[in-house]
Every structure is written in structure tokens, then in C-alpha cells.
Amino acid sequence: MIDTIYQDDSWALHTDLYQINMMQTYWELGKADLNSVFEVYFRKNPFENGYAIFAGLERIVRYMEQLHFTESDIAYLREVQQYPEPFLKYLKDFKFTGTIRSMKEGEVVFNNEPLIQVEAPLAQAQLIETALLNIVNYQTLIATKAARVKFVVQDDPILEFGTRRAQEMDAAIWGTRAAYIGGFDATSNVRASKKFGIPVSGTHAHSLVQVYRNDYEAFKAYAQTHQDCVFLVDTYDTLKSGIPSAIRVANEMKDQINFLGIRIDSGDMAYISKRARQQLDEAGYPDVKIYASNDLDEKTILNLKMQGAKIDVWGVGTKLITAYDQPALGAVYKLVSIENEQGEMMDSIKLSGNAEKVSTPGKKQVWRITSADDGKSEGDYITLWGERPDLQDELYMFHPVHTYINKTVKNYLAEPLLTTIYENGKLVYDLPTLKAIKSYSGQRLHDLWEEYKRNLNPEPYPVDLSEECWKHKMKNIEDIRKQIK
Ligand SMILES: Nc1ncnc2c1ncn2[C@@H]1O[C@H](COP(=O)(O)OP(=O)(O)OP(=O)(O)O)[C@@H](O)[C@H]1O
Ligand SMILES: O=P(O)(O)OC[C@H]1O[C@H](OP(=O)(O)OP(=O)(O)O)[C@H](O)[C@@H]1O
Ligand SMILES: O=C(O)c1cccnc1
């Protein structure tokens, strides 16, 4: 980590104060080591989309791998927060010994299903909540937004241009990685390329043209110093000066450069791109690509395509990297089971007046049910841990709230989605390469019916509870009601 104040700065304090306060309570009253199970899920798919793309696992592993309190962390907690010395000693020796199961990065996921499950001594599970949510909430949001853009551009290249507008430096770096998982082809961020091996790509800014005060001079200068050229043509007048200057420089430089494209960054991009295409074609440059940028998102891109815009490459910044139209995913981390004093696991529920918001108690697994004939998705099926829908001949699937919506599925495959990442504190999962994650995500989206994938008003994908899981939930609700009476 780049920090100039503390040489030993760590992520252990990247948590909310209340987590450490609760840890102290648990530790002082002998509950710190009770086994607990927490699950991460979100309640509503972002952007009114039909699904989300899960991202953030690699960063969670990096966080977990270095999770310990350093000298300066402990000194801070002693001096500023004045925690008692024996508790500080416990923190100093802190080591994560739990089990973490997670969706694979790039997985297509849905609302109300566990994405991550932490089974760990209570105080440990509590400490990591904030960082896990921080990571998953942002990265999943950006990967999903990227998938929405990918849906409308189809096979056109899309470039991530958002660093300058991102919510600070970390968001730019991990956001562009998430965008790559979700379908972007390259980033303008050089460090992200170095760190993750994402292809890097770029044109030039208006400042270059302003420096030379003239399109032709600026493009000529760039062409004399670069082989691959994409000229930004809209600084003064796109059609009268920008494109003619780009063509003039290309004619003069001939084979000395690869005249790859022009970029338009303002104006009516449907009209201008059509006129630009015409000018380039007439000048003998039918293969030169037209790049467009300027506050683009999936809605504007779809609209531009509908208008017949002649745009080949899309640069997307602000609206992707800031998740402009929905800046928070709202994933939560809820306790689903906790050991009692007798050493038995007691499942736990959170009630709400809104049926959709009542949590589902117990440690669970998520199964993706697909047709054995064509591999297409039937729905996700949440079971209590230990149930084996993969060994059954048929599956009764029903909506967990509107139970009259139901179906019986035969000849299916049931694939468990929560994979073990940490087992008793030890990393047991081989992190895939970023390329593999991206291609996995594409494959998983391919397996989803088109009706769930459209950007506007998608069909709700079934996320069902097994009968056992559903009955268990109802019993928990009843028990709590009796207790309250
Ligand atoms: N034909 C079009 N149909 C729909 N939206 C378009 C079309 N052409 C451009 N846009 C979008 O309209 C918005 C125009 O924004 P804005 O008014 O800031 O741009 P501008 O005035 O052309 O350029 P500048 O960035 O120099 O202010 C941008 O989001 C752009 O992507
Ligand atoms: O519009 P976005 O989707 O956020 O894409 C990134 C924007 O960043 C640049 O503009 P900026 O005005 O910052 O710099 P410039 O002088 O190079 O145009 C670029 O020209 C894009 O318009
Ligand atoms: O390379 C580009 O064209 C670029 C990079 C960052 C932001 N806007 C454009």
C-alpha cells in the first residue's frame, strides 16, 4: 500500500468502529469464539437489471491475506480509542481462522441469494464485514454496469475512460478491473494495465490541439512521434477543420503511421459520425474507425445506434466508473446462525413488515439449476447446507413469497455456486487469471435466457428456496412471534 505516514499501515482498521466495539464485548464476555455464520446478499438487482455480475473476490483474498493488526494500529487503538490492554493483546495476536465460501468472480448472480458466506469465530466474522461489503458493493456494481453497456454495443470495442471522474484512486483501479470483467475491452489507466494485465488504450486530449492552436499542426506533431494515430477532431470544428486535417496528415505521412481512427467528443454524434464516415470514405479511408466519447452510457449508446450513428469504438468514463444512475448496490452482511452456550448452532432471522425483506435463516448453499438438454438456466435454488438437489430426480421450484408460482423440473443439472475460498483460515482456492474470469462471466451470461438479459424490464429470474429451507424459515418466523407474545 502507498502510505507515507505509517510504514506498517494495514487494512485491519479498514472497518467501522462498531465492529471493534462489538468484538470487545464478545471477547470480554466469552463469546468471541462462538461459531457464527454470516451471509452477504443484496435485495434488488442494480440498475433495474435482471442480474448482477459478482466482482471483488480477488481483492477480498488480498485483504484477508494481510489481515493483522500492526504496531501502529495497536498504538492508535491504545492511545486514541483507549481499549483495555488485555483486549489489545487479543487484537495483536488476531488471526483469521474461519471458512469463507463465495461465488466465483464474474458469476452471474441475483438478488436475495448468498454471494459470500463467512463461517468463523464471532469476533473474527464481525471484523471483516465492513471491508467485504465495501469491496463487493462497488466492484459488483461496476461489473454489472459494464455488462449493461456491453449488451448494447455487442461486438463493438468499448474502452474504459473513467479514472479522472472516479470516486478516488482505488475506485479507478478496481473499477476498471470490474469493467473489464463485465465486458470492456481496454482501459486508459496505465497502472491498472500494469497491475492486472488489462489491455491499455488511448488517443490524445484537446490540450494537444490547443498547444498547437491548430488541428493540422497538432496531428502532424503527434504523427511524427507516434506510429498508431487516433486524432481527436472536435476541438475547433469537427467537419470543417478536424477531419480534413486528420486526412491531410494521413495523406502526407502515408505508411509512416497507422491512421487508426478519429475521436469525436462533442456535438450531435449521430449526425457528425455519419458525415465523418462519408468524409473518411471519400478520402480513401474506409477502414479508419470512428471513436466516440462524451458522457456515454448504455442508454445514449443504444439511442445513437438507433439513429444509425457510424461509431465503431465507444469510450465510456463517468457514467460507468461512478455507477452514475445507481451509486450503491446495497449488499448486506447478515447473521444466519450462531452457536449457543451448549455448543449447538441456532439459526437466526431478521423480521420485517415487508415479506421480501425477511432474512432466510440458516447456513445455505445456492444451486444453479440448468436444463441437461441445452445447458440453459432454470433458476437458482437455495437449500439449507447439506441438502443435495443434485442427487434428486426432480425438483419442485416455487416462488418463496408468491408460492402459487411454481414448476417441477426434470432432467436438470444442479451446480453448487458457493465455492470454498478459505478453510479454517487457510486459502484453498486458486485465483483464476483475469482473462479466465472475464471469459467465465461471458459464458455464464450466455447460459442465461435472453428474457433475463434485456436492459429494459427483464423477466425476474427465479431465485427459489427449497421446501426444507422455506419451511425452516416459516418455523423461525412462528417461533419468534410466539416468543414476542
Ligand atoms: N445524436 C444524439 N442522440 C442522443 N444523445 C446524443 C447525441 N449526440 C450526443 N449525445 C449525447 O448528448 C449529451 C450532450 O452533452 P453536452 O451538451 O455536454 O455535449 P456537447 O455540448 O456536445 O459537448 P461539450 O462536452 O463540449 O459540452 C452527451 O451525453 C452526448 O453523449
Ligand atoms: O465523458 P466520459 O464518459 O466521462 O469520458 C471521459 C471524458 O474525459 C475526457 O474529457 P475531458 O474534458 O476530461 O478531457 P479532454 O480535454 O481530453 O476532453 C474525454 O474527452 C471524455 O469526454
Ligand atoms: O485516450 C482517450 O481518448 C481518453 C482517455 C481518458 C479520458 N478520455 C479519453
Whose CA is closest to 140, among 108, 165, 173? 108
Burial 312-334 (b: 16+ CB within 10 A, else e): bbbbbbbbbbbbeebeebebbbb
Segment 421-473, tens digit of pLDDT: 999 999 999 999 999 999 999 999 999 999 999 999 999 999 999 999 999 99
Residue ranges with strand state E in 252-320: 258-264, 289-292, 313-316
Q: Are 305 and 298 in contact (CB under 8 A)?
A: no
Q: Supply the pTM of this predicted model.
A: 0.97
Amino acid sitting at position 322: T
CB under 6 Å to ligand 1: residues?
Answer: 266-270, 294-296, 300, 303-304, 307
User: Grid coordinates in use for 432?
Assistant: 483464476
Report the nearest atom of ligand 1 relative to the CA of 292: 31
R_g over Cα of the chain:
26
Q: In the β-sheet with 364-371, what is the strand arrangement from edge to edge?
A: 412-416, 364-371, 377-384, 463-465
Whether residue 183 is contained in a domain is answered as: yes
Which contiguous run of DSSP H or E holds residue 463?
strand 463-465
Number of domain units in the chain? 1
Ligand 3 mean position to 166 CA, how many Å? Answer: 13
Segment 36-86, tens digit of pLDDT: 999 999 999 999 999 999 999 999 999 999 999 999 999 999 999 999 999
Cα→Cα distances 72→4, 22, 62, 78, 92, Å: 13, 21, 20, 10, 11
Ligand 3 mean position to 159 CA, how many Å? Answer: 9
Looking at all shown ligands, the one closest to residue 318's CA atom is 2
Task: Please tell me the residue having the least CA distance from ligand 1 atom 26.
Answer: 266
What integer pLDDT is reported at residue 309 of this predicted model? 98
**CATH code of the domain in which 318 resides:** 3.20.20.70
CB under 6 Å to ligand 2: residues?
Answer: 161, 164-165, 205-207, 265, 293-296, 315-319
Distance CA 391, CA 383 (A): 13
Looking at all shown ligands, the one closest to residue 266's CA atom is 1
Determine the residue of 167, 230, 293, 319 to mutate for testing ligand 2's pocket, defined as the one with the most ligand atoms within 8 A of the Cβ atom: 293
What integer pLDDT is reported at residue 356 of this predicted model? 78
> Is the CB of 314 inside a 6 Å radius of any atom of ligand 3?
no
Predicted-assembly ipTM surpassing the 0.90 threshold: yes
Segment 108-153, tens digit of pLDDT: 999 999 999 999 999 999 999 999 999 999 999 999 999 999 999 9
Segment 250-276, tens digit of pLDDT: 999 999 999 999 999 999 999 999 999
| DSSP label at residue 242 | I
Whether pLDDT at 393 is above 90: yes
Whether residue 58 is contained in a domain is answered as: no
Whether residue 454 is contained in a domain is answered as: no
C-beta atoms surrounding 416 within 10 Å: 14
Task: Please tell me the residue having the least CA distance from ligand 3 atom 7.
Answer: 161
Segment 262-316, tens digit of pLDDT: 999 999 999 999 999 999 999 999 999 999 999 999 999 999 999 999 999 999 9
Whether pLDDT at 1 is above 60: no
Confidence at 408, pLDDT banded by 50, 70, 90? very high
Determine the residue of 159, 160, 161 to mutate for testing ligand 3's pocket, defined as the one with the most ligand atoms within 8 A of the Cβ atom: 161
Question: If you average pLDDT over residues 214-234, what whole number do you get?
Answer: 98
Q: Are 163 and 188 in contact (CB under 8 A)?
A: yes
Give me the sign of the Cα torsion angle 309, 314, 318, 324. Answer: positive
Report the nearest atom of ligand 3 relative to the CA of 230: 3
Segment 339-348, tens digit of pLDDT: 999 999 999 9
Determine the residue of 161, 236, 298 to mutate for testing ligand 2's pocket, defined as the one with the most ligand atoms within 8 A of the Cβ atom: 161
Whether residue 328 is contained in a domain is answered as: no
Looking at all shown ligands, the one closest to residue 324's CA atom is 2
Burial class (CB in 10 A: 0-12, 13-18, 19+), 20: buried
Report the nearest atom of ligand 1 relative to the CA of 307: 1
Q: Note down the domain range covering 194.
A: 153-322
